[in-house]
Structure 1
Amino acid sequence: MSQDACSIPADTPWLAVRRLTLTDFRCYPFLRLDTESRPVVLTGANGAGKTNLLEALSLLTPGRGLRRAKLSEMARQAAGEGAPWAVAAVLCRPAMGGGVDETEIGTGREAGTERRVVRIDGQPARTQSALAEILSVVWLTPSMDRLFQESASGRRRFLDRLVYGLDPAHAGRVNAYEHALRERARLLKTGGDPQWLAVLEETMALRGVEIAAARRDWVGRLDQACRAGIGPFPAAGLELSGMVERWLEDEPGEEVVRRLQAFFATSRRRDSEAGGAADGPHRTDLAVRHRPKDMPAGLCSTGEQKALLVSIVLAQARVQAELRGAAPLMLLDEVVAHLDETRRNALFDELCALGAQSWLTGTDAALFAGFGSRAQFFRVDDACVTRQQ
């Protein structure tokens, strides 16, 4: 694929999906979709399969994807119980010295198991974390509309997904911490070996402080990027609320590791009764404010909350393009329906300026008219995808 075909200015960093292939994934028996680097607009009726395409793309990074579904739930129902499924993509980006580099990545479910496999350029990868070194994906979905009003767990997932974009190793740290956290809870419930508990708590303390430090670094960078706002989208104020993050404000990391490990050790009896850990990085929350109104995001109107979310992910894309050399792949599911015409057009302008290959869905093609020829349009009808002129 040539630089001209990508429609990206020569001095703009970019990364794009050139081809997406699905096999027995959700409603798709098989699909091969060839795209350019311009924004991709998918329109069609509810239930036609638009969001399934975004979910497939979200699985090209570590984690459970934008729906957080089990692997078995992603298999096409008609393929039978235990059927495998696969998602693959060809990625392109500018090559050093000119031209375009291509990377093939893929993931899927092994038949009859809940085991997920990953391949990069045809070779098996040891863990999902290898995907984070190649591709970063950010998404907004209708289920996130109440992100600022519901529990902190959703905001932590949102927070960590954004941190992955700047620090790919963050995914491995979070997985290691959560595994040790679960093992400790299991041992406390059964009265496990104190020495093994100490080993788990050491792991939790080491990984926990690394997680908190990475979150603090990201929030500092992103808060600065959010301060000015982006066009008609309101400036967001970001702040972390967490015990370990507070400790890191005043103490060096090594001391915080020792302090956190001691905290876990002295909390065993209480935690055994509660069935978890009373505090730690798994309790951290992300506080967001509407800066112009100096108001917590959770008290803003639905439209303002959506605009704040858009403002944050656009700022994330700017920071990531600067630090990693390319903006993340952006998946925006039914986002424009909640924006007025001014904000819709501002969103389209920003996506094009970033050089981000964004994928947007909607039921009404007219809402995307502001893209003009800057986007590529596809119609989705009952798992059939056709390019529109």
Structure 2
Amino acid sequence: MSQRDVSDISRQIVDATGGLRMRRLRQAEWSRRLVRENQLRSSDLIWPIFVKDGDGAEPVASMPGVERRSVAGCVDAARQAADLGIPVIALFPFTDPALRDETGSQALNPDNLVCRTARAIKKAVPEIGIMCDAALDPYTSHGHDGLMDGERILNDESVEVLMRQSVIQAEAGADIIGPSDMMDGRVACIRSALDDAGLRDTMIMAYSAKYASAFYGPFRDAVGSNAMLKGDKRTYQMDFANANEALREAAQDIAEGADMIMVKPGLAYLDILSRITQELNVPAFAYQTSGEYAMIMAAAQNGWLDGDKAILEVLTAYKRAGASGILSYFAPKVAMALREAAG
């Protein structure tokens, strides 16, 4: 077919569609922005931060650019987040192995690392939201999210501890409790415990569709549970081959009192995120996991892709799939880039 034939066909198509040329709106940056369907904003971001005891900061080797921060360093990060328009930070502790035990007893210490950090941040930066996880894996010597009897995870006994942990964290200043443990029935029990403690305004963002994934490795390095983990978490985290199960999990958590739900990991589960937002009509969040972060950083550092462009593309994909917000270690970098782009 000659170029003239192609041009003739193209004109016929344009004529048949009323003169429409889809590329017309793409020809300039201003026109692309004018008709853009999904906008990524700083207010869409939650910044996960790792906290440690002592002074200074320690790099997380498997997450280039991410550090374990002191309590004072977390306060500084909260100030930075507030300045950048990031509404929420999520706290994750690196617990001294000497303080870990079979029952994760440090989770119930009102003066543990997370609680001290939450109180310090609320005192210094009261306008920032704080999210804390309800799970035992940062505190157990076996690295699992719940209590164990031999090799078996105990559901109801674990939920009893998670209820108490959630109240302690909320009393310390947590605005959002994130049950990440994947025990059955824990959202209803945590909601009840918070209400009974007079903490009715404390929100719950349930890790509803949390899959047993290979993308968590660097996170486990950051909180110190990777080397301690005995076995795997497939008896309570979701099978990555399942989709309908995620809808059932999310619907159950909503019925039990969750204000928001989460899909984790994010990038490999955009189909799950899209279905939940479309079918359940509830605020849904995606967690850009440590493994996703590490992949982008490794490729960017090797010159295999443009890291800055890849970050924005992936985070916008979460928005396109329906996410109300995104937990991302790139949050401050993205917020600064968005500010510079806005002039």
Which fold has the larger relative contact order, with Cα–Cα distance below 8 Å and residues 6 or more apart in sequence?
1
TM-score, normalising length: structure 2: 0.28
Which is richer in strand? 1
Q: TM-score, normalised by structure 1?
A: 0.25
